[in-house]
A and B are shown apart, each in its own frame.
Chain A
């Protein structure tokens, strides 16, 4: 792939069948199947219907994962999403207790997420010298603070009318409703990132922001849209979380930001930006969910599960690096 200048362009997408078969995503599918086989060997409760029934609790996080994938692709990070989930959940509980109709509660939930994401975006685009890690660290404390203050001394608030949310958390046959929505969201997000000019622009911003700017890409507009989107999806996450927990407390959403970033990284999206896709992230998300369910059925302690997932994550982050160094060494040998 050497151009006229003799330089190689590594980032050019490869589309040959061979490269598809041997891609990170196919590796993930192998791991996913391995997890399923492992689950059914170690736990006889690891059946299709049981896994689907246990899933909604974890599925809510996947909504955020797609938008977080966008954020990582443009080489940003948002660690305030867990706090947004907490704030959106809290406000929705208050709306519920005030007797608002279900549609208003849904609007409140997603609306709070939208506003929080918008705020992150406005700060990020107007104070560009600030790293987004610091911005969202600050807004995280603010969002969680507002939620905690409004919850008052009890530290928790619950839904008074759970009818509507019980429906949202309901099942169609063996499938939870959230499962279908996750699939729809997956299709939309994957399409936007891989098949639209907007998606290409995001990769451009993530690969080299200055070059993207000179190429006429509205960098700040794209950042604003991505941050707003991840906030909105955090609101959606809060909605489905409420449908399983029927209430919010000061610890709601704690650690979610790290969970979704972990899923993205495991799915092959680089935190340095411009690399990876959401197909990988989706498979990785479901792999982690199924692994957690399987290990949970062994009554393994939660901490042990986290250790295993942590190891998995570090190994998966290392493999591209090892791959690269092998490639470099081979080049060096070839050059001699």
Chain B
């Protein structure tokens, strides 16, 4: 009989412990979020001032940037609701920079911490994002900006969100146009594919074999770029001597990307160039190639801070140059778009214009139509990182 009492007491203790544990971790997570976002504020401030190379100039201009943003906010209106961002996955530096840009832009518009929600899915899958979106609907947020892990799997959840009066926009990776108002595109698909294809052409010397190291096989943006690269390669005789050996998938995991790179090197001894349009893949491949002193060269889309030691013109470096856009600016654009949608400044229709703080040098953005007749906002051109500017950008992000 006593043992049963003991078990009940233990059960109660466990329940109590659980409550206590949850409670404390919840509060600690809130505080860590606020500290993270405040540190992110300085990062973004320095990025905004990155044209001036000295870091002291960056810190002094932080306050002026905030003022500029506030005055520019007339373009999107007051930020009074709750704005949510659902990135692709946790622990990915690119996503974290997006989130910091998102948080900063909203803070510049006068949002408090509890008006800004950044909710990472537990796995880098659409299924996990559905769970997060469902939870955000329950919380009654004003807008959801999502970087989709799958082009169609989020449709049902996003439709529920729209039905509940929540404004939905996408960034980085799109969903079906029917289920979101507008897509914040980091750079046009064609522009990126052209830049990557030209880089492969240039680095290989115009002929030879190349391979692509992608993220997951269902990532919308990855597949769009790769398809566009294939089209460019087929449509122009200039690229006739280039042969695509394989598209490998590293699932945006460092270890798997490393394994895939090694497999590529073993399978294709004549390989000249690997093109990795994902930040995790390019960093993993760069390390493999440089460690093995391989003659294979690398290009693609990468984070400057992660790629600093691999970028160089000589044989001891694996990557001559690469591209990326500014994820902080992309996050900020998503924030301004969210606010503009909630306030009705824009509806997401083609032709709508709005100013997004000091993004695009303070010039207004116009919503355009992409090749699939869907509305999108293009952040800008892909930016080239080479030995001349990598040091400077590695400090920014």
A binding-site residues for B, Cβ under 8 Å: 18-19, 22, 24, 27, 30-31, 34-35, 38, 42-43, 45-47, 50-51, 53-54, 57-58, 153-156, 158, 162, 166, 169, 244-247, 249-252, 254-255, 292-293, 295-306, 308, 311-312, 315-316, 319, 322-323, 326-327, 330
* Contact yes or no, A330 B3, CB < 8 A: yes
* Contact yes or no, A34 B117, CB < 8 A: no
Q: Is B150 an interface residue (CB 8 A)?
A: yes
Which residues does chain A contribute within 8 Å of B198, judged by CB atoms? Answer: none
* Contact yes or no, B153 A156, CB < 8 A: yes
CA gap between A220 and B140 in the complex, in Å: 53
* Contact yes or no, B29 A301, CB < 8 A: yes
* Other A-B pairs, 10, CB within 8 Å; known A30-B15, A330-B3: A38-B22, A42-B26, A162-B155, A245-B130, A246-B152, A251-B123, A301-B29, A301-B122, A302-B122, A311-B18
SS class, residues of chain A in contact with chain B:
helix
Which residues does chain A contribute within 8 Å of B26, judged by CB atoms? Answer: 42, 295, 298, 300
Q: List 21 A-B contacts (CB under 8 A).
A: A38-B19, A43-B139, A45-B140, A47-B138, A57-B131, A153-B217, A154-B217, A156-B150, A158-B151, A244-B130, A247-B150, A249-B125, A255-B123, A300-B26, A302-B90, A304-B29, A311-B21, A316-B14, A319-B7, A323-B7, A330-B2
Known A-B contacts A158-B152, A304-B29, A323-B3; the reply to A250 vs B10 at CB < 8 A is no
Closest to B90 in A: A301
Q: How far is the CB of A167 from chain B (nearest CB, A)?
A: 12
SS class, residues of chain B in contact with chain A:
helix
* Contact yes or no, B29 A27, CB < 8 A: no
CA gap between A208 and B247 in the complex, in Å: 52
Which of B2, B3, B249 lies at the interface centre, i.e. has the most chain A CB atoms within 10 A of its CB?
B3
Chain B: interface residue total (CB-CB under 8 A): 57
CA gap between A30 and B13 in the complex, in Å: 11
Which residues does chain B contribute within 8 Å of A31, judged by CB atoms? Answer: 11, 14-15, 18
* Contact yes or no, A296 B126, CB < 8 A: no
Which residues does chain A contribute within 8 Å of B125, judged by CB atoms? Answer: 249, 251, 254
Pick from A43, A252, A308: contact of B21, CB below 8 A.
Answer: A308
CA gap between A30 and B15 in the complex, in Å: 8
Closest to A245 in B: B153
Which residues does chain A contribute within 8 Å of B11, judged by CB atoms? Answer: 27, 30-31, 319
* Contact yes or no, B134 A162, CB < 8 A: no
Which residues does chain A contribute within 8 Å of B126, judged by CB atoms? Answer: 245, 247, 249
Q: When each residue 1-39 of chain B gets 1 if its CB lies under 8 Å from chain A and 0 otherwise, what string results? A: 111111110111011011101110110010000000000
CA gap between A299 and B21 in the complex, in Å: 16
CA gap between A194 and B189 in the complex, in Å: 60
Q: How far is the CB of B155 from chain A (nearest CB, A)?
A: 6
Q: Is B137 an interface residue (CB 8 A)?
A: yes
Q: How far is the CB of A204 from chain B (nearest CB, A)?
A: 26
10 tightest A-B CB contacts, nearest first: A302-B122, A155-B217, A27-B11, A156-B218, A22-B4, A50-B138, A158-B152, A296-B135, A155-B218, A45-B138
Q: How far is the CB of B106 from chain A (nearest CB, A)?
A: 15
* Contact yes or no, A296 B131, CB < 8 A: yes
Which residues does chain A contribute within 8 Å of B150, judged by CB atoms? Answer: 156, 247, 249
